[in-house]
Chains A and B, each alone.
Chain A
Amino acid sequence: MAGPVIEALGLSKRFGAKTAVAELSLEVRAGEVFGFLGPNGAGKTTSLKMLLGLIEPTAGAGRVLGAPLGDRRARARIGFLPEHFRFQEWLTGRELLWFHGRLFGLGGVRLAARIDELLARVDLLDAAHRRLREYSKGMLQRIGLAQALLAGPALVFLDEPTSGLDPLGRLMVRDIIGELRRDGVAVFLNSHLLGEVEATCDRVVFLKEGRTVHELALAGSAAAALTVELRLGPHDGGLLEGLQRFGRDAVEAEGWVQVTVEGEESLPALVRWLIARGVDLYELRARRKSLETWFLEVMGEDQRPG
């Protein structure tokens, strides 16, 4: 579709006196992997449930796949993996997918083929005949992911999809998200695992106490910025001022000069400039700000537990 797959405009949810989500506004485009970040209790799952039509917003409006929130026909093109995926444990993996496929309106040979394809994709073909009560946490998460993909969705909501998975399982989820992106499917990802988010998302929004406080394009300039640390020989007082032409926030402390540059393409010019100025360069460290650092900066010290 041409327009955004998710549009939220001022969505709010209050439970009694408590505001769970306040004026959430965001857009997600087709083929985009969108990360939704925030500490526990920030309102991530409540926001996701409002977008899915599982709870009604107290205020605001939204559209998903061009339809109002909760629209039944739009839900036919939405996949959803809830946090702590649960289903009737007396079903086998194959039966679970069959019932969910029926709820999606699929049936017959097409559904059977799709189930086989997905069981193979999440590496559960051998366990398809076993009851869910015999599945490990990671296997439940994988069968849950398969049910989310049954209908060939245009939009997938994943709430903590890698929770309980071992490194190989996480890699598999990352690959599946990559395949979805290539197929033009939008992925809305709720996760605490910032490394996973960093590896998979195109853009993230930070949610704090029910409010969106920051948005960051992971492929954009802000995320690409580097902090450069230099250990230099003797230099004059004009050095810091001169470094500002390559970046910003140039400071000197404890024998190190630090400056933030827009990207690694600035580094060769910076080094040449230092040498031309006759300043000895003993060591250069360049590091990109991790999503974890962004998270801590955006959330502030008050969000640290304890």
Chain B
Amino acid sequence: MRGFLTVVHLTLHEALRRRVLLAALVCGMAFLLLDGLGLRAVVRDLQQNPGMPLLQRRMLLSMFVLAGLFAVNFLSVMTAVLLPVDTLSGEIASGVMQTLASKPVRRGEILLGKWAAYVVLVGGYLLLLAGGVLVEARLLARVTPPHLLSGLSLMTLEGLLIVTLVIAGGTRLGTVTTGVVVLGLHGLAFIGNWVEQIGTLAGNDAARSIGTVASLVMPSEAMWQLAASRMQPPLMRELHVSPFSPASVPSPAMVAWAAGYAVVVLLIALRLFRRRPL
């Protein structure tokens, strides 16, 4: 436990000192500024058109907030890949890991310490940006999406899943290869989701099945789809009037699959790292 906590501390310390987290925060703040200015412009425009029905007005604002959360999700996915991508592979390649692993700590403590620290960092980053979007929505448009807790939890699970895959990749693969593989898997899930949505709208079972299989292979995008579905008014969801209103909503079983997926990948990572020649 002592080794685990020390590695968590070391990893957090490193992230705070390195420019990559600072760059992510600066980009995030720029995004929040842009999002706030855009929302303010939309709200002013709506105020100048009092003839628009209240329901339509609410749906427009909800769509804007979901667009903001979609951007937060995208930034968080990128941060979850880029922030920890060299933490294992880079230290193994440079020889830093030899010094750590020769200390009286289990290799599992090193891996879990790094994993936990990056989950905290990515989760914190996501909640900071999502919180910014939600505060702006509340203050500027008096809009609060429903089911925030479950929606944000699903987005956090997506980030956790990606961090876990990146850490697992680093036990065996190089830095660039790990990044390419994890982003490739997420891209597969993203495209698979669109195939599923189009297949559902067109009534094409084969296309829908392809999307489901893609989500099983990489359940990250399914978590965003489920989160987006929860965090929008029911009518908007039923009418499919926005790109964030999926025609095919992942089942709750997909959440269990994603959580189990992360646990299994983490266990595999622990096993691989324990036997990794350093």
- List the A side residues contacting B2 at CB < 8 Å: 102, 105
Q: Are A86 and B96 in contact (CB under 8 A)?
A: yes
Question: Quick one: which of A93-115 are within 8 Å of B by CB?
Answer: 95, 99-100, 102-105
Main secondary structure on B side of the interface with A: helix
Among B29-37, B99-107, B129-137, the one that faces the other chain is B99-107
Residues of chain B with a CB closer than 8 A to A295's CB: none
Query: Of the candidates B14, B105, B277, which one forms a contact with A103 in the assembled complex, judged by CB atoms under 8 Å apart?
Result: B105
Contacts of B278 in A (CB 8 A): 49, 54-55
The answer to whether A103 and B275 have CB atoms under 8 Å apart is no
Q: Given that A54-B102, A75-B102, A104-B104 are contacting pairs, would A90 and B14 also be in contact in the complex, using a CB cutoff of 8 Å?
A: yes
Name the interface residues of A204-259: CB closer than 8 Å to any CB of B: none
With a cutoff of 8 Å between Cβ atoms, the chain B residues found around residue A54 in the complex are: 98, 101-102, 277-278
Question: Is the pair B103, A55 in contact by a Cβ cutoff of 8 Å?
Answer: no
Contact with B along A67-104 (1 / 0, CB 8 A): 00000110110101011111110110001000110111
Asked if A52 and B102 make an inter-chain contact with CB atoms under 8 angstroms apart, the answer reads: yes
Q: State A56–B107 Cα separation when bound (angstroms).
A: 14
Distance from A10 Cβ to chain B, minimum over Cβ atoms (Å): 19
Closest to A54 in B: B278
State whether the Cβ of B3 lies closer than 8 Å to any Cβ in chain A: yes
Q: Does A147 contact B (CB under 8 A)?
A: yes
Give B95's nearest chain A residue, CB to CB. A86
The chain A residue sitting closest to B275, CB to CB, is A56
Chain B residues, CB < 8 A from A84: 95
Tell me whether A87 and B99 are in contact (CB under 8 A): yes
Does B49 sit at the interface, judged by CB under 8 A? no
Q: Is B271 an interface residue (CB 8 A)?
A: no
B-side interface size class: 20 to 34
Number of interface residues of A (CB under 8 A): 30
- Structural contact, B98 and A90, CB atoms closer than 8 A: no
Whether A56 pairs with B6 at a CB distance below 8 angstroms is no
List residues of chain B with CB within 8 A of the CB of A86: 94-96, 99
Alpha-carbon separation in the docked complex, A84 to B103 (Å): 18
Could you tell me if B14 and A85 are in contact, using CB atoms closer than 8 angstroms?
no
Task: Give the residues from 90 to 126 in chain B that come closer than 8 angstroms, CB to CB, to chain A.
Answer: 94-96, 98-106
Which residue of A is nearest B16, CB measured? A90
Separation of A121 and B6 alpha carbons in the complex (Å): 25
Q: Which residues of A contact B103 (CB under 8 A)?
A: 75, 100, 103-104
A238 to B35, CA, bound (A): 105
A52 surroundings in chain B (CB, below 8 A): 102
CB A95 to nearest CB in B, in angstroms, measures: 8
Say yes or no: A82 contacts B14, CB within 8 Å: no
Q: Are A56 and B277 in contact (CB under 8 A)?
A: yes
The residue in chain A whose Cβ has the minimal distance to the Cβ of B5 is A102
- A79 → B minimal CB distance (Å): 9
Within residues 130 to 188 of chain B, which ones have a CB less than 8 A from any CB in chain A?
Answer: none
Inter-chain contact A78/B102, CB cutoff 8 Å:
yes
Contacts of B99 in A (CB 8 A): 80, 82, 85-87, 100, 144, 147
Chain B residue at minimal CB-CB distance from A85: B99
Contact with B along A138-182 (1 / 0, CB 8 A): 000000100100000000000000000000000000000000000
User: What CA separation (Å) do A144 and B95 show in the bound complex?
Assistant: 13
Interface string of B242-275 (1 = CB under 8 A from A): 0000000000000000000000000000000001
Q: Are A55 and B277 in contact (CB under 8 A)?
A: yes
A237 to B106: give the CA distance in the assembly, Å. Answer: 72
Q: Which residue of B lies closest to A88 (CB)?
A: B14
> Is the CB–CB distance between B95 and A82 below 8 Å?
yes
Given A49-B278, A54-B278, A103-B3, also A90-B104 (CB < 8 A): no
From known contacts A80-B99, A99-B10, infer whether A75 and B104 are also in contact, taking CB-CB under 8 Å.
Answer: yes
B18 within 8 A of A: yes
Q: Are A105 and B277 in contact (CB under 8 A)?
A: no
Whether B102 and A72, one on each chain, are in contact in the complex, defined by CB atoms closer than 8 angstroms, is: no
> Which of B10, B99, B105, B275: most chain A Cβ within 10 A?
B99
Closest A residue to B277 by CB, please name it: A55
> What is the minimal beta-carbon distance from B228 to any residue of chain A, in angstroms?
38
CB distance from B114 to the nearest CB of A (A): 12
Are B105 and A72 touching (Cβ within 8 A)? Answer: yes
**Residue contact B6 to A102, C-beta cutoff 8 Å:** yes
Report the bound CA distance from A47 to B17 in whole Å: 36
Q: Within the complex, what minimum Cβ distance (angstroms) separates A111 from chain B?
A: 12
- In the bound complex, residues from chain B placing their C-beta under 8 Å from that of A56 are 275, 277
Q: Report the Cα distance A86→B99, complex, angstroms.
A: 8
Indicate whether A103 sits within 8 Å of B106 (C-beta atoms), given known contacts A49-B278, A55-B277, A86-B95. no
- Give chain B residues whose Cβ lies under 8 Å from the Cβ of A80: 98-99, 102
Interface string of B200-232 (1 = CB under 8 A from A): 000000000000000000000000000000000
Complex interface bits, A32-56 against B, C-beta within 8 A gives 1, otherwise 0: 0000000000000000010011111
Chain B 1-45 interface mask (CB, 8 Å, partner A; 1/0): 011001001100110011000000000000000000000000000
Q: A55-B277, A102-B6, A144-B99 are in contact. List 11 more A-B contacts (CB 8 A).
A: A49-B277, A54-B102, A54-B277, A72-B104, A72-B105, A82-B95, A88-B14, A102-B2, A103-B3, A104-B104, A147-B99
Q: Considering the complex of A and B, which 5 residue pairs feature the smallest CB-CB distances, nearest first?
A: A76-B104, A103-B103, A55-B277, A90-B17, A102-B6
**A and B contact pairs by CB, cutoff 8 A, 12 listed:** A49-B98, A56-B275, A75-B102, A80-B99, A82-B98, A83-B95, A85-B99, A86-B99, A88-B10, A90-B14, A99-B9, A103-B6
